[in-house]
Amino acid sequence: MKVTLLGSSGTIGRAVLRELRRAGHVISTPDRHTLTALDLAGEDAVISCLASRTGTPKDAWFVDHDLNAGALKAAQSAGVSTFILLSAICVQKPRLAFQHAKLAFEEKLTQSGLSYSIIRPTAYFKSISGQADRLREGKPFLTFGNGTLTACKPISDEDLATYIVSALSDPAMQNKILPIGGPGPALTAREQGELLAEALGVTFRTRSVPPGFLKVIATVLSAVGLREKAALARIGHYYATESMLLWDGMKYDADATPEFGSDTLQAHYQALARGEVVDDREGHAVF
């Protein structure tokens, strides 16, 4: 198929690009310029892995909503039949600006008349590997509360990319919102820390931070006018207290959270410990 991939320089975008190449598709990867119908003439599908690098309100509305909406409009004008969107599972319980921006675009996409797949992954490996250096330096693993407040089914970049690209040809994935995690079972933050310590060959010690601490920081930053930094603290609080699992309206349901792929966090941590992979969180300060 002829596929235009947006956000091909990002973590998941790069993995999707590799998978599209492997599957033999013809790929265009426009960089940071406004898409027009001319750019998309003759294309079969658009895959958007665009994402705000900060998650702050202004950037999120511009990237997660406006840029995607512009691409959708161009796709409609050019007669592209399929639009696949990388979203996030956390939009199911929206409290933050970037979640509202994503949801607003999801709504536009479902109403667009194009065939769509909205992919809402759980946590990426890179986002739960941030304490490797702390542990290597002999410091304790930081947990919010006792480390069991939240859990997730992490998914690797490669497994997620395979899943995204399969939406191009799998009718069962079309016109659907698709929450997706990696292979189970769900892991609490504490269990993730234990796996990391084991992989690095260090003793597992924890230091507990009350999650309310981040709320206090957000309030203080907001009061002194540092709105963007306050927004980051609020994002931090959200991830300290909410699981990246399917929300059934009353509780997070690990068993009901769909699983895909075969890469495990344990194997990733072991590869990280051997120096075979690095986690590049680039501009992501919090998530």
Ligand X SMILES: NC(=O)c1ccc[n+]([C@@H]2O[C@H](COP(=O)([O-])OP(=O)(O)OC[C@H]3O[C@@H](n4cnc5c(N)ncnc54)[C@H](OP(=O)(O)O)[C@@H]3O)[C@@H](O)[C@H]2O)c1
Interface residues toward ligand X, by CB under 6 A: 7, 9-13, 32, 49-53, 63, 67, 86, 88, 121, 123-124, 127, 282, 287
* Phi then psi dihedrals of residue 278, to 5 deg: -125, 145
- The burial of 172, by beta-carbon neighbours within 10 Å (0-12 exposed, 13-18 middle, 19 or more buried), is given as exposed
| CB 223, min distance to ligand X, A | 27
H/E element, 180: strand 176-180
Nearer to ligand X, 13 or 147 (CB): 13
Nearer to ligand X, 58 or 202 (CB): 58
Nearer to ligand X, 78 or 235 (CB): 235
| CB 124, min distance to ligand X, A | 4
Using alpha carbons, select from 80, 84, 94 the residue that is nearest to residue 119.
84
| CB 221, min distance to ligand X, A | 22
Query: From residue 83, how far is each of 16, 98, 180, 195 by CA, in Å?
Result: 14, 20, 18, 37
- The burial of 159, by beta-carbon neighbours within 10 Å (0-12 exposed, 13-18 middle, 19 or more buried), is given as buried
| CB 134, min distance to ligand X, A | 19
